[in-house]
Structures are given as structure tokens and as C-alpha cells.
Amino acid sequence: MFDLIQEILKGDEKNNLEQFVNLLRQLEKKYLLRNEILNSFHDYCQKQENYDHLYHSSDLSKLVYFTQEIILDTESLCLVVRPQIATQQAYRLLEDFTVEAISIQELLNLRDRLVNRYHPQEGEVLKIDFQPFYDYSPVIRDPKNIGKGVAFLNRYLSSKLFDDSRQWQDALFNFLRLHRYNDAQLLINERIQTQQQLSNCVKRALILLGKYPADTAYKNFCTELQNLGFEPGWGNTAHRVQETLEMLDQLIDSPDHQVLEDFISRIPMIFRILLVSPHGWFGQEGVLGRPDTGGQVVYILDQVKGLEKQIQDNIKLSGLDVLNIEPKVIVLTRLIPNSEDTTCHQRLEKIYDTDNAWILRVPFREYNPQITQNWISRFEIWPYLETFAIDAEQELLEQLQGKPDLIVGNYSDGNLVAFLLARRMNVTQCIIAHALEKSKYLFSNLYWQDLEDKYHFSLQFTADLIAMNGANFIVSSTYQEIVGTQDSVGQYESYQSFTMPDLYHVLSGIELFSPKFNIVPPGVNEDVYFPYSRIEGRNLSDRSRLENLLFTLEDATQVFGKLADPSKRPLFSMARLDRIKNLTGLAECFGKSKELQERCNLILIAGKLKSEDSTDHEEISEIEKLYQIIDQYDLHGKIRWLGVRLSKDDSGEVYRVIGDHQGIFVQPALFEAFGLTILEAMISGLPTFATRFGGPLEIIQDQINGFYINPTDHTEMAEIILKFISKCDQNPNYWNEISQRSQERVYSNYTWKIHTNRLLSLAKIYSFWNYISKEQREELLRYTESLFHLIYKPRAKMLLEKHMHRH
């Protein structure tokens, strides 16, 4: 990019650059983001004679396109440029229009100065830099391969096995000897003492297995294998055991990355799993739509069922059913004594439709019973998480009858607790962010002090840095969750470098090219969400009841709005009423379009109807805003707003009832990390229109099995929906075509079986990597712990003291 800037300064476009900079200096803002820069450049170019060349093909237009930020200082202008995904550079353009590259540290100082938080006379702030810890570990080179960490790691490990065969084969041999279940030794017994013996015994076992028919059950030859040194775990039939041992034989003789992945994925090492999700109301009924409680509960409960089923299948395939192994999955969450009408006060609750999966609730310590007896916002729970982890550890060991084999954290708070527990118990740890608040709240790090009383971002962002660096591996739902797109910065990418003025500077917060990142999209519960056209599984009485609720029921406690013409095509959306979900934006789009109002009814399922029934400030604000929009655009008779909490089964049937009416699902979020409701709508057969900001870009293929919308452009949004409706009018089968393609998209890419199989495979491979690289990781973990003790804990203590003074 430096060369491109120099070309502009030396050529004919220097004058254009000077004029454009002068235009920017006339603006009130000193800090411009990408959209503002692009809009300002467009305004400038429109006034020039050579508009087409300047705006579309000039060097200056290329520079503007790659510029993420412009900071206007008194004597210079700073350009923050993103020449490619996951890469950032900064340049200072001086008054005489010479240019110089500036370091990350200089850029962070400049940002501090912009908000009057730069105090060099008082000394420097703490610098956080994780980069040295990644310098000695393998990193991905090509940005396109970010998120494919395990594939890269397998290639790396297999090359090590090949290049340094003795050391790495010894490591593989010792890793195989580790595995036990309670008192039972798995895989290899004491008859095999060395890697060379293992190689010889594998070849003898393969000769032995060749004498048996492929479908011979393991119990019929287990004694002969034990005499050779092999315990249960290799397979349940002669063919399966033979396949697994052939993989091992190949790894010993000529390692291959795909064989390594297939082999490690078969090793029986995961029987007990812990999932951590402390915030919100975690329950199976009556919790959805409550503050801080939504898609993550659905996600985790479905994931639990998928994991249990997959582990059971793996146990059977491994031949371990002879040991009567019973897997166990626990969701660790917070116990809420004042649980209102939920089960969140119950210590232990069995998860429906599972054999041995449980919700374990542990209370926050009662520093102040008036606070800790109640639900606490996710922005306020930080002071309780360390003691929560300490208290939970003993209960978990008792419930699981041993340590978990894998810990999965969810959201910033759950990920921090997962880190603390994994560190205490020395267990492989995975984190799933779902959504990182830093990218949701603009300038949240720069103005953190102004927002601290409300959001406590200093604690949250520090917790994020600790968890993402401490994790063995990170699961994201989409590629852009990690590194965004060509046009936008990813959620994890936003942690690469940033300032928390007067607190710390992050020079390198996360290595985006680390193989710890893996894309594993969630699935959708196919027992609950299935096509509207499938008669089997649909209950006629439920269908009738929900049809009445959606279109005609008059009940002021549950429904606002009576439809003048219930036969119009329904535009449907279902989400929490908060700013990011943007249901008020959808209502405003509907209100601005007379044609949409003529063709459709708007039906919203969205939390509460009355602001006095809510304690969440964002929800209260959105409730009031929705009423204002309804009055402003006179939407009476055209909108139904349901303030209900649906059971899971009812939510599945609601989509299908909308499908019966050839309706449309609209997901208008300002940003969506993934979008489970999109999967639910698509598998139900609803043509789906979803935000182009975030995960939906990777779920939907635009105009093939769904449609992208820009939720900030109401006119364009209405036009895209109306264009679809017009096509349906012209071709009565068009709605069905999109409906069918949306179902196919979900079934081929987004099932829980695909997800859980991949997650367990990752856990095994990273356990192997963790075993052979333990010394390298220890330095990183100690640095990470220092952030916890020196920054997180003192700030959490300050917040706790504030809570103690609340009455």
C-alpha cells in the first residue's frame, strides 16, 4: 500500500487527494470509518469532470476502497489500510503531503490523543502482546485457509512424523498408552513397551484379523488381540479393527495428513463433556425471550443431544460397549434462587430426550443476597465468575465421577470460566464466542470509560483476550466471524490491536493465522424444525391454536394489533426486542412502503408488549420505539405483535403455519454472528430474507436459496421483498422453488450430526497436539494468567464493591 500511496503523490492524482483531504477536514468528525470515507469520496467524485475514471478505476479509488479508518490530526492525516483480509497497515500523511508508515503503537497513541486520553508525561500504559508466543508454533500462510486449522495442523503433524520419525512416533505411542476409562485400560496394554514393539504387533494383529469374516464381532477375537497387547477401543468388528490398525500401520511407515486425522478421530478418548454457559436464564422451558436468553440456549441444548448421540455411536463403533461405558454431558450454568416461573433454581435438571445429559446449576456466592438471589445482566456478572468456577469444580468432579475429557465455553463469560476450569483440571478446552460485544458496539473500546458503568467492557474485553488465547481450539460458525470480508473486519480480527485508553494497549491480541481457529457451523433440531409440507409430526390441534394466535386471537395480554385482512401474505420475524436484532427497523421499513402494506401483513413475535414488564433498558427502549413506529405510519390493521414466549415445539410449528400461508421470513439484524432462526425458517421451507451483515452471508446463497437485505436501507429492503412477491405472482411455483432450495441447503450443510462429529474430531486432534506441545503452551498460559490476576481480578473486585453497596 505504501507504493500505491507514493504513486498517487508522484502522479496526476495528487491534486485529487489534496482536494479530498480538504473536503474531509471540513467535516465535523475527526474519526471516519469505512462507510463514511466511501460516501465522502463518492460525494467528492460526483463534482469532478472525470467522475467515472476517478470513482471506479483511479489509484486514489483503490486506496480509498482499502482504507478502513481516517483519523484527522491537527498537523497530519492517518490512514488505516486493510490491503487484505486479516492484515492492517497505518500511514501518516503530513501537511506537505509526504507519507510515512507508522507502527501499531503510534496508531494506538494517536487514537488515545483523539479522545484526550494520551498522557505521556504520566508514563506509558500497559502493552499486551501475544505475538511472541505464536512465533514458535505453526501458522497458516494463506488467508483463505483461516478457519481450517485442523486440516493445517494435520499436515504439519504428519510432516513431523515423517521428518523426525523417531521422536514423533514415540510421542504417538505414548499418547496411545494414556487412554483409560475409569480402571479399564484402552487400546494398548503392558505387553507393548516400545514404539518398535507396537509396529511389530500391529502387523501380527493384521494377519490374525485376516482370518476372520469382516462382520465378526469384537468379543469373538478380543482375547487373541489382548495377548498381542491390544485392549478394547480399536473397533467393534474384525473389519473395523483391521481398518483402524491399518491406519496406524500406515502412520508408522509413511505418515499422511488425512490418515492421521481419520486415525486420531477414531481413538476413544471423549466420554465426559462439560459445556459452560453462566449468563442468562438457562432452562428448557419458559426462558426464551427473557433478557440475555435466546439462541444460545437452543444451540447448547441441541448440541448436547447431538454430542451424546455421537459419543454413543463412537463407543459402539470402537467396540467399547463390552465395558458398559455410559457417556455423560453436563451444561454448567448459574443457579438463580429467585427463578420466577422457571426451573433455574433447581440444582440438577435432566435434559429432555437424553440418556445421561444434565443441567448443573451452581449459585453465585452470596456477597450481597439482594443481588445474587436474582438474575444478573451479562454485563454485570464478571465479579462472580472466578468463585463460580472454584465452587463448580468439586460439584463437577462428583457429577462426572472424574474430570471431563473436553470443556466447551460459550460466550465471553462462559469462555472465561472454561479457561479457569481447564487450567485447574488440565483438560482440553474449546471456546465458542457466538458473538463478541466489541464488534457490536461502535468505538466500545475507545470510549470504554464513558460506557463502563453500563457495560463494563474493560472486564469483558480482557476476558475475551484471556479465553481466546488460552483455548486449545476455537470454534466459529462462519469464516467472517474470524476475519470478516473484503469490506468488513471480523469479530476476532477486531481484537488484533486496539486501545483501552488509560488501561492498556493491545499490540497483538490474537493470531488470526493460528491453526486453533476452526469453522464448525451449528445444526438445526430436525425433530422440532422440519418442512411445513411434511404432514407426519404435525399436530392438528397445535396447528389450529397457533394459526389463531398468529392471525386472529384477540387477547390484549398476548397480542397487540388486529389484522384487517388476515389473508394477505405474512411477513414474519421472531427475535428478542433489542437494538441489534432490529425488529423496529423491519417495522419502519414496512411502514415506509405502502406497496408492502398493500400486499402483506407484518407479524412479529418479540418478547414483551409493555415496557413496565421489562427490566432490560434496551428492551424497554425498543418496545417504546415499536409503538411509536406503529402510530407514526398508521400500521393499525396491518401488524400483529405477539408478546409471547413459545415452547420449542410451538416455535417449530409457528414457522410451518407461516409456510402454510406461503409467507416470508425476514431477519433484519444490524449484525448477526450466525443466525439460528435463519436455519429454522429455511428448513421449515420459508423463503428467507436475512441481513447481509454477518453470518447469513455464508448460510444463504443470494437469490438461489434465500436473499440478502441491507437492514439500514429501508427502501432497498422493501424493493427486494417486493421483487420476490412480484415473481411469485408471475410464476406461482417460484415460492415453492425457493422453499425447496432453502430446505436442501440446510440438510446438506447444517445438521447437528455434521456439527458434533466434527467437534469431537477436533477435540481429539487438539488433545494430541496439546500433549506433544505442552511445554510451548505453558509460557502462553502463564502470560494469559497474568492478565487475569493483574487486570481482570482488580477490576472485578471494584465492580463487586459497587454491587455490595446496592440496596
Q: If you average pLDDT over residues 523-538, what whole number do you get?
A: 91
pLDDT at 775: 67
- Residue 635, phi then psi, degrees to nearest 5: -90, 10
Write down all domains in the chain, each with its CATH number in brackets. Answer: 2-102 (3.10.450.330), 151-177+188-230+234-266 (1.20.120.1230), 272-469+755-802 (3.40.50.2000), 540-750 (3.40.50.2000)
Average pLDDT over residues 285-294: 87
Is 124 buried (19+), middle (13-18) or exposed (0-12) by CB count in 10 A? Answer: exposed
Provide the 10 A C-beta neighbour count for residue 658.
Answer: 26
**Identity at 355, one-letter amino acid code:** D
- Is the confidence at residue 543, as pLDDT, over 90? yes
Question: Where does the pLDDT of residue 111 fall: very low under 50, low under 70, confident under 90, or very high at 90 and above?
Answer: very high
β-pair type (569-574, 272-276): unpaired
Half-sphere exposure in the Cβ direction for 353 (13 Å, CA): 12
Mean pLDDT of the chain: 93
Directed axis angle between helix 2-10 and helix 59-66, to 10°?
140
367-409: pLDDT as tens digits? 888 889 999 999 999 999 999 999 999 999 999 999 999 999 9
SS3 569: strand
Name which of 143-152, 171-180, 269-278, 289-298 the model is least confident about. 289-298
Confidence grade of residue 161 (pLDDT, cut at 50, 70, 90): confident
Q: Give me 194's grid cell.
A: 516400545
pLDDT computed for residue 807 by the predictor: 56
Closest CA to 777 of 158, 138, 261, 170: 138
pLDDT at 753 over 70: yes
* Mean pLDDT along residues 256-281: 95
User: In which region does residue 647 sit, left (phi positive, over 0), alpha (psi from -120 to 50) or beta (all else)?
Assistant: beta
Range from 310-319, 360-369, 449-458, 666-675 carrying the lowest mean pLDDT? 666-675
Can you give the pLDDT at residue 167? 81
